[in-house]
Chain A
Amino acid sequence: MKDEIISLFIDDEMDIDDKMVFVETVHSDPAFTEETLSLLKQEKLLLTPLTINRPMPRIFSFKRLLSFKYPFKALTMVLASAMIIMLITSLETGFQEVRHRFAIYKPDVKQAEFSVNFTPGMLFSVTFPDQNGYWKDSTEPYPVGNEYIHFLDWKISTAKSRSQFRENLKFSHTQNDLHFIELMDS
């Protein structure tokens, strides 16, 4: 206890009783006094003031947020970025022009026209230009389940759209559906 009171003295942790014991012991025990002085000298060295000239660090740093110390924050940010990119991409796809491409091989006719009646009484038509026997053109997509009609050499021909044989032809950022039209024998 006597020895420990030296540390209480050094660290200013004494209550009034400790102080009385300390002073009495210093006066009565030269070895204790020597011990106290020795430890005080040691403490003085230990208390050598140290200074550092560093500015206050940036507390809210983006780099720190992405550091390995914060994997969940980083993961959340990466996922959020990915979702934003996916959203933007899907929006772009939504606005992307979609055209339907129609083709029919009829080298023996001089005129071909494809029409669709998507609302009763209304007829929209696309005229096929001649290309080595293949009559091709493209148009806006029509609603599904409408009546398709072909005119060949100015004669109406009942036609079916073989939608099951549609092929997606992707080029120049335009999605094209190739419709092979199969004429019914008439």
Chain B
Amino acid sequence: MKDIEAFYRAGKDRLFGYLVRMTADHELSADMMQESFVRYVEHYGTRPGQYPLLYRIARNVVTDHFRRNNRFTYSDDDVEDICSTHDQTIESREAFTQVLRAMQKLKPGDREILSLAAGDGNLSYQQIGEITGNSEANIKVRIHRARLKLREILKNGGV
């Protein structure tokens, strides 16, 4: 049980970050983060954790949620809520708000791959490929294209 507690402490912020970038909803992301850990333990026990498996479970949690609620994007108000809860300077808060808004304008697949890649650099392209079911070569191309699309949305003022 101590192993899984250490796994939780080490991984909760990273997974939460991925979920926030995916959903742009603070409370929902926190719930999903906890739900993902619970499902992980239910499936794989309390052995030392593997992040790709955890992210795959989290991905399913997100997919289940969006399928139930029949929507894949969140409102600007949700994005504001997230940024207001974190201890950042006003400038960085505004910049992050803009990026999160732009992220919600991306297609779900692009948003997902960028969210996984943005997880503190701990997930390799190979692991992202395992999580999403794509080849490493495919991930290389898709990540870069998603970055360019995000930049394009930001250039156009997030529209």
The chain A residues found within 8 Å of chain B, CB to CB, are 3-4, 6-8, 10-13, 38-39, 42-43, 45-52, 54, 56-57, 59, 64
Given contacts A8-B140, A47-B121, 16 further A-B contacts (CB under 8 A): A4-B140, A6-B144, A12-B121, A13-B124, A13-B125, A39-B147, A39-B151, A43-B118, A46-B114, A47-B118, A48-B88, A49-B17, A50-B82, A51-B86, A54-B34, A56-B4
Which residues of chain B come closer than 8 Å to A48, judged between CB atoms?
A: 86, 88, 92, 96, 99
Which residues of chain B come closer than 8 Å to A8, judged between CB atoms?
A: 140
Q: Would you list 10 pairs from A and B whose C-beta atoms are within 8 A, ordered by A residue? A: A3-B144, A11-B143, A42-B151, A43-B147, A47-B118, A48-B96, A52-B29, A54-B30, A57-B37, A59-B38
Given the complex of chains A and B, what is the CA–CA distance between A7 and B16 in angstroms? 23
Which residues of chain A come closer than 8 Å to B154, judged between CB atoms?
A: 42
* Given contacts A50-B86, A51-B13, A56-B5, A42 and B33 within 8 Å (CB-CB): no
Q: Is the CB of A7 within 8 A of B17?
A: no
Q: Is the CB of B12 within 8 A of A54?
A: yes
Which residues of chain A come closer than 8 Å to B124, judged between CB atoms?
A: 13
Which residues of chain B come closer than 8 Å to A64, judged between CB atoms?
A: 38
Which residues of chain A come closer than 8 Å to B34, judged between CB atoms?
A: 54, 57
The 4 closest A-B pairs by CB, nearest first: A7-B144, A52-B16, A57-B34, A50-B17
Given the complex of chains A and B, what is the CA–CA distance between A48 and B42 in angstroms? 31
**How far in angstroms is the closest Cβ of chain B from A111?**
77
Q: Count the A-B residue pairs with Cβ separation under 8 angstroms: how many?
A: 87
Interface of B is mostly: helix
* Given contacts A45-B96, A52-B16, A11 and B42 within 8 Å (CB-CB): no
Q: Is the CB of B16 within 8 A of A57?
A: no
Which residues of chain A come closer than 8 Å to B86, judged between CB atoms?
A: 48, 50-51
Given the complex of chains A and B, what is the CA–CA distance between A10 and B29 in angstroms? 26
Count residues of chain B with CB under 8 A from any CB of chain A: 44
Q: Is the CB of B16 within 8 A of A51?
A: yes
* Given contacts A42-B147, A43-B118, A11 and B13 within 8 Å (CB-CB): no
Given the complex of chains A and B, what is the CA–CA distance between A7 and B99 in angstroms? 18
Which residues of chain B come closer than 8 Å to A7, judged between CB atoms?
A: 140, 143-144, 147
Which residues of chain B come closer than 8 Å to A6, judged between CB atoms?
A: 144
Given the complex of chains A and B, what is the CA–CA distance between A12 and B99 in angstroms? 22
**How far in angstroms is the closest Cβ of chain B from A34?**
12
Which residues of chain A come closer than 8 Å to B35, judged between CB atoms?
A: 57
Given the complex of chains A and B, what is the CA–CA distance between A56 and B49 in angstroms? 14
**How far in angstroms is the closest Cβ of chain A from B57?**
13
* Given contacts A46-B21, A48-B92, A57-B34, A4 and B99 within 8 Å (CB-CB): no
Which residues of chain A come closer than 8 Å to B30, judged between CB atoms?
A: 52, 54
Given the complex of chains A and B, what is the CA–CA distance between A93 and B20 in angstroms? 60
**How far in angstroms is the closest Cβ of chain B from A100?**
57
Given the complex of chains A and B, what is the CA–CA distance between A43 and B144 in angstroms? 11
